[in-house]
Structure 1
Amino acid sequence: MHVVVLGAGVVGVTSAWFLQRQGYQVTVIDRQPAAGLETSYANGGQISVCHAEPWANPSTPLKVLKWLHRNDAPLLFRPRLDAAQWRWALAFLGQCTSARAADNLRQMVNLGLYSRSKLQELRVELGLEYDHLTRGILHFYTSQKEFDSALEPARQMRELGCDRQVVSAARAIELEPALAPLKQRLAGGTYTEEDESGDARKFTQALAERCKQAGVVFKYNTEVVGFERGIGRIDAVETLSQGHHHNLRADAWVLSLGSFSAPLARQLGLALNIYPAKGYSITVPVKNPEAAFNVSLTDDEYKLVYSRLGDRMRIAGTAEFSGYSRRLNVTRCQAVLRRVAAVMPEAGHWDQAEYWSGLRPTTPSSVPYVGKSVISNLFLNTGHGTLGWTHACGSAAALADIIAGRPPQLDFRFSGVSVT
């Protein structure tokens, strides 16, 4: 059986790995010249089961209204004449109830725990190196209100098996001495010892090489432009490579094209409610190792994550709903830089920051599409939002089980999708 994976980001490449392990012939298609060059390229770097609280929760609508006219807001909604954006926004508001937020959190924690274990197994089995650290993730709070609001989600996560412990300000500094400059301002923190960090691009490219060695074929510089349909199935995809059109045939297809999954799926009459949330990151050389962090950090008040990647620091976050443009918003870049420089002024060469933006494929519920679609031979592994790196191995392993006709080994809302 020949399975073609559309997309060579971290989700697509992990899908290819677990599918070839099932014995399938696998081909991966991507428009870039190598794996991991779009949203996986410079993301926040966290394997963060503890980051499972969905964006859609009862407190979010008021925050979005408050931030509407702030160009440096952590979450920025730019209204456009775009039906997809408004359809997404209305569905998002519908997810902002306590009951739905609690259910979505459960889905995210269950998938995250399973995925983290699969990543750890894979790392040991293959000996992958990707600047990973296994020192946990520490959420820190300089706002008492934000700290107080984190206590209930942390409790819910502990009940679901994610050991996100509440810690005092003093304990937070013991865990990560680089937070000492904030000693007088820290309200407290939460610490998840089992969570990790690492460079998603390095992981994706290293795993792609192992996939090649195992027989997976990668077709880079190849764009999917259309489909050849059969009765209730896809017979072929039309691709464009170096100016030439080709039809590629296969038995089954996996859609893992991130934010671009939704417009492509519309050609098939599928309504994937995915919209791009543009995120930003800065990558900075370490200046003073004694002042730089080693535990991966989450700054919940500013919606930023910090990961140590060897002699580099990666700080990423914010969400901008403004279409598919990847143009850098200088104001938002500077806001990220100002915050991290204020938190640990001596840690990095802040004047050497490299800026990046990526389009994170976000669903209204924050729960990704993983499962079989209503088209008999099309499978979905997309819409992972800010947690593609966290959920990649688990969703890929589960999808490989689904394609093989076996029930996945976790409790998760595996989803199909409606037809427009």
Structure 2
Amino acid sequence: MDVIVIGGGIAGVATAYQLRAAGHRVCVIERHATVAQGATYGHSGAVLPTPLDIWFGPTFMPHRLGAKNGVIRKSGFNRAARGFVRRLAALQDPAAFSLQYSRLRPLIEASREAMGEIEARHTFDFEQASDLLYLVRGAAEWQLAGTALELLRQYDMPHQVLGAAQCAALEPSIPTTPEFAGGVQLSGERTANCPLFAKLLKQALDLQGGVTFQFGREVTALRFDNHHAAVELAPPLDAAPRSREVDVMRADAVVVAAGAGSLPLLERVGLPLPLHPLRLHTLVAPIAHEECAPHRAIVDAVKRITITRMNHRLRIAGAAVLQSASQTSKPLDPALSEEALALLGQATHDWIPGAAKISAALAWEGVKLLSPDGLPVVGNALHPRLFVNLGHGPAGWGLACGSAGLIAALISGTPSGLPPDTLAALRPERFRG
């Protein structure tokens, strides 16, 4: 089949890879000049989500910890934003959290397997590193993390629960004062460079053939009939005035994997999705003092701030700003940007003082989608030729590889290997009714 994939981020490139592996011909359409220039560019580095850092559950935006939870809320929420927060808050209940994580778990394992197959075939070097250390500040946070710890035990995920002194012994960059509650080591989990991985996948596809990329083009509309799917493309910005006409590309199927840009496209064809945009922030800072630099990734488990080392630099990511969706297209208030970047700088000072040269850091801000039930949106929707792969959230870009495998299986008409309750929980049309 001929398949059009809209979006050149990690979800779109991974989808193209899995579709080509299944024997399909693919065209990827991306509005930027190359792959991994949008939300993928600023990813924290955590490859797969764990019960401790997934963006829902008891430790995500807990009300009793107030502003200390790492998510900045702008006042003036509209009705949709308030409803989104309420739905996510329902997953703070331990039973609801455990059930929702159990639905996601098969996709996490499928993603782990998919990434393993890619690495075995191509021997990519994308700055992979094992061992994550999740740190917890106080007794109240430690109590909130109890359900996540139970899930680690339930799913036999290798881990060690550590006291503060043990954390400092394991990672000498962590100060023992002021006191903190402790942490959890997951030696089997990994971090890596997400945009580099996407670029390496693109290079592999270029060498293999069967996948083309159209850069600097923006999809303005989707069309479907009984026999074909089609996309309308805005003319290139550098096109001559007489030739600035809408182009139409036809295929057997279309996969929408364009992150926040997917929402208006899908809404125009009758599929409004209640996914909410979060403005995430990243600082990439040179290492100031080698003796202070961490040897493993550190995650502030409640603030959802991840600190990863990549060669001679540190990537500090998190500090989400939660606004009404209508504000996403406008520049962020400088005061909110300053507050978000201050959160990242403070986390660096708290956990690895002296390690990062924050004054020389490069700042990034981008929009990532989060669903009100915490799960990505993956599958067939509305029309037999329309497929969706988005909403993987800020924690775990490796999910895109497993989701891409599911899309390839659905388009090919082959079994995905995922259980029915997981497939139902991911369906784009689950929000209807």
**If the length of structure 2 is used for normalisation, what is the TM-score?**
0.88
**SS of match in other structure, 1:333:** helix
Question: Once structures 1 and 2 are overlaid, which stretch shifts more, 35-44 or 141-150?
Answer: 141-150
1:299-320 CA-to-partner distances (Å, cap 9, x unmatched) read: 1243211111111100111221
Given that 1:49 and 1:162 are in contact with CA atoms closer than 8 Å, whether structure 2 keeps it comes out as no
Task: Tell me the CA shift for residue 127 of structure 1.
Answer: 1.6
1:363-393 CA-to-partner distances (Å, cap 9, x unmatched) read: 0111001111121111111111113513111
What is the total number of aligned residue pairs between the two structures? 413
C-alpha distance in structure 1 between counterparts of 2:84 and 2:137, whole Å? 32
Report the equivalent of 1:227. 222
Q: Is it true that 1:416 corresponds to 2:428 in the alignment?
A: yes
Q: 1:11-410 maps to which residues of 2 (within 5 A)?
A: 11-51=11-51, 54-57=54-57, 63=63, 66-67=66-67, 74-80=70-76, 82=78, 84-134=80-130, 136-179=131-174, 181-182=175-176, 185-215=179-209, 216-230=211-225, 235-243=229-237, 244=244, 245-322=246-323, 323=325, 324=328, 325=330, 327=332, 329-410=337-418
One-letter code of the match for 1:365?
D
**SS of match in other structure, 2:290:** coil
Given that 2:5 and 2:27 are in contact with CA atoms closer than 8 Å, whether structure 1 keeps it comes out as yes
C-alpha distance in structure 2 between counterparts of 1:392 and 1:194, whole Å? 19
**SS of match in other structure, 1:4:** strand
Task: Tell me the CA shift for residue 178 of structure 1.
Answer: 1.4
1:238-268 CA-to-partner distances (Å, cap 9, x unmatched) read: 0114143210111011111112222221001
**SS of match in other structure, 2:410:** helix
C-alpha distance in structure 2 between counterparts of 1:347 and 1:114, whole Å? 36
C-alpha distance in structure 2 between counterparts of 1:365 and 1:53, whole Å? 15
Given that 2:296 and 2:308 are in contact with CA atoms closer than 8 Å, whether structure 1 keeps it comes out as yes
* Structure 1 unpaired stretches of 5+: none
**SS of match in other structure, 2:134:** strand
C-alpha distance in structure 2 between counterparts of 1:321 and 1:145, whole Å? 24
Given that 1:28 and 1:217 are in contact with CA atoms closer than 8 Å, whether structure 2 keeps it comes out as yes
Given that 1:112 and 1:391 are in contact with CA atoms closer than 8 Å, whether structure 2 keeps it comes out as yes
Question: Once structures 1 and 2 are overlaid, which stretch shifts more, 321-330 or 189-198?
Answer: 321-330
Given that 1:31 and 1:222 are in contact with CA atoms closer than 8 Å, whether structure 2 keeps it comes out as yes
**SS of match in other structure, 2:39:** coil
C-alpha distance in structure 2 between counterparts of 1:320 and 1:157, whole Å? 29
One-letter code of the match for 1:116?
R
Distance 1:186 1:83, change over 3 A: closer
C-alpha distance in structure 1 between counterparts of 2:201 and 2:350, whole Å? 36
Distance 1:99 1:337, change over 3 A: same
Given that 1:154 and 1:165 are in contact with CA atoms closer than 8 Å, whether structure 2 keeps it comes out as no
Distance 1:388 1:11, change over 3 A: farther
One-letter code of the match for 2:200?
A
C-alpha distance in structure 2 between counterparts of 1:90 and 1:342, whole Å? 31
**If the length of structure 1 is used for normalisation, what is the TM-score?**
0.91
Question: Once structures 1 and 2 are overlaid, which stretch shifts more, 141-150 or 266-275?
Answer: 141-150
CA RMSD in angstroms comes to 2.4
**SS of match in other structure, 2:232:** strand
1:188-219 CA-to-partner distances (Å, cap 9, x unmatched) read: 11111111111111111111111122221011
Question: Once structures 1 and 2 are overlaid, which stretch shifts more, 325-334 or 215-224?
Answer: 325-334
* Structure 2 unpaired stretches of 5+: 238-243
C-alpha distance in structure 1 between counterparts of 2:347 and 2:170, whole Å? 20
Task: Tell me the CA shift for residue 341 of structure 1.
Answer: 2.1
Given that 1:280 and 1:316 are in contact with CA atoms closer than 8 Å, whether structure 2 keeps it comes out as yes
1:342-379 CA-to-partner distances (Å, cap 9, x unmatched) read: 32222121210111111111101110011111211111
Given that 1:166 and 1:189 are in contact with CA atoms closer than 8 Å, whether structure 2 keeps it comes out as yes
